[in-house]
């Protein structure tokens, strides 16, 4: 069973992924994979430096994520270019990890935490889709608590596929406007269903 986990920025997807991992699911975090494939001298790192130039590098040769983010969030063509560089390497790493898990445990529940599952039309990679939902007010509050300005939070939310549309396309929804205990209870019920 391969599950695609997604939601809107600030909806609490990481919390839900952590709960699923604690219950026994194998978690493949695509944000983590994206960070791994752009480490210095990896293929995606080389592609980024070739396309965007050395101005996007820190002194230790790592990618300056803020600098790159400023470029791609304000220019759709550059965002697409970055995705064309990074995504193939993420796909390769995802396939490798999936195969590794399957070879160890054939009946595993594998949860792929993919923030842009709908935006990048990746639902074909999964058997079921779980969307983590939280209202806009809660999402903005959570993002500002992380140091993002309210204006930036709203801009990032608008850049994503509308959360209500994701909910309509989901097989399961975890509503995360309440307490942590309420979210955990929903995740426990969800995991029991996935294991069937």
pLDDT in tens, 1-49: 999 999 988 999 999 999 999 999 999 999 999 999 999 999 999 999 9
Q: How many CB atoms lie within 10 A of CB 66?
A: 10
Using CB atoms within 10 Å of the CB of residue 125, give its burial: 0 to 12 exposed, 13 to 18 middle, 19+ buried: middle
Model confidence, pTM: 0.87
Bridging pattern class, strands 110-113 and 2-7:
parallel
How far is 87 from 38, CA to CA, in rounded Å?
A: 11
pLDDT in tens, 121-158: 899 999 999 999 999 999 999 999 998 888 888 888 88
How far is 183 from 177, CA to CA, in rounded Å?
A: 8
Name the β-bridge partners of 129.
4
């Amino acid at each position: 069973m391969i599950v695609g986990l997604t939601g809107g920025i600030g909806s609490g997807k990481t919390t839900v992924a952590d709960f699923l991992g604690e219950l026994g699911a194998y978690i493949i975090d695509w944000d983590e994979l994206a960070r791994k494939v752009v480490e210095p001298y990896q293929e995606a790192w080389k592609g980024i430096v070739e396309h965007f130039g050395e101005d996007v590098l820190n002194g230790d040769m790592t990618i300056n994520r803020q600098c790159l983010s400023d470029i791609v969030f304000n220019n759709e063509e550059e965002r697409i270019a970055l995705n064309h560089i990074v995504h193939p390497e993420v796909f390769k790493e995802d396939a490798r990890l999936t195969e590794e898990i399957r070879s160890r445990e054939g009946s595993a529940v594998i949860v792929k935490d993919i923030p842009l599952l709908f935006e990048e039309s990746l639902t074909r990679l999964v058997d079921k889709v779980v969307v983590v939902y939280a209202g806009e007010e809660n999402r903005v509050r959570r993002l500002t608590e992380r140091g993002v300005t309210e204006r930036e939070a709203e801009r990032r939310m608008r850049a994503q596929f509308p959360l209500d549309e994701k909910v309509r396309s989901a097989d399961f929804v975890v509503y995360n406007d309440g307490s942590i205990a309420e979210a955990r209870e929903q995740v426990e019920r969800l995991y029991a269903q996935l294991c069937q």
